[in-house]
Copies of this chain bind each other. A is one copy, B any other.
Amino acid sequence: MNCLVNGAAGESLSLHDRGLHYGDGLFETIAVVNGEMPLWARHMDRLQRDARRLGMSPPEASLLRDEADRLCAGARRAVLKIILTRGAGRGYRFSPAIPPTRILYRYPWHDYPSRHAEHGVRARVCELRLGRNPRLAGIKHLNRLEQVLARSEWEDEHIAEGLLLDELGHVVEGTQSNLFVVRDGRLFTPALSYCGVAGVMRGLIMDEARRLDISCEEVTLRLGDVLEADEVFFCNSLIGIWPVRALGEVRYPPGKITPRLSRQVRRLLQGEAVLS
């Protein structure tokens, strides 16, 4: 059993679900380590917050937790994906009375090369620019055509991630990750007021930086700020931290802040510590 739809094992969804028709829903992608989900509470916080912003009624976290445990019990390493849609119904207008659809997937762990985390990755700047909409900014919703098109810009297996700017040229994130830069020992990450996904790992890193007394600010970044940074890294809740070795033609020598954060994050993701 690899999928649960509203609590029942299954492999299919109603053709009338609004998730299909309009991308009217949300998702979470959660690391499972030794049957545990170290960042579960953060994922649930984000899901609840995003659901409220879209006017959806999310299921109780305890219900999702029961189903996640049924699906992932005993998994040494796996990925749990949760999709929450606004349920079935036709037309853009929706009835708040319709119960949402919840779908849980258990996937095998994605074995990214360990050198990505240890020695860093090569990245490129995507040509596609993200549209800006503060109403959707930060939300991990199902409208992901921009990411699909951005990821189709390159085939080179040596390039691990693409950097996305918005229509005004502000730096936002990677196609599947958030971005941090280090300058003069201080950490900066794009404020996601107009677009982008406010990742769970991004939030964790901001909290960890605070604990480690590393200054961390959400700011407006331009491409030049990234190219001139001392250190640059991507992050998400599955990959942890990927230091950037090269962005296009620009190379970054190994830094000091990134490895500190990276070690801490790896410990958390590997279940050596559990942070709620």
A32 contacts chain B at the CB level, 8 A cutoff: no
Determine the chain B residues whose CB is within 8 A of the CB of A11 once the complex forms: 14-15
Residues of chain B within 8 A (CB-CB) of A136 are 131, 145-146, 149
In the complex, what residue of chain B is closest to A18 when comparing beta carbons?
Answer: B148
Which residues of B sit under 8 angstroms from A151, Cβ to Cβ? 91-94
Quick check: is A223 within 8 A (CB to CB) of the other chain? no
Chain A interface category by residue count? 35 or more
Whether the Cβ atoms of A92 and B175 lie closer than 8 Å is yes
A128 and B135 within 8 A (CB): yes
- Residues on the B chain within 8 Å of A141, using CB: 145
Number of copies: 2
Does A21 lie at the interface of the complex (its beta carbon under 8 Å from any beta carbon of B)? Answer: yes
Q: 6 A-B pairs, CB-CB below 8 angstroms?
A: A11-B15, A13-B17, A20-B142, A24-B148, A91-B151, A93-B152
User: Contacts A13-B13, A24-B145, A133-B146 given; 18 further ones with Cβ under 8 A?
Assistant: A11-B15, A19-B20, A20-B85, A21-B142, A21-B144, A22-B144, A23-B144, A23-B145, A54-B149, A92-B148, A92-B151, A93-B151, A93-B152, A94-B148, A128-B135, A136-B145, A136-B146, A143-B143
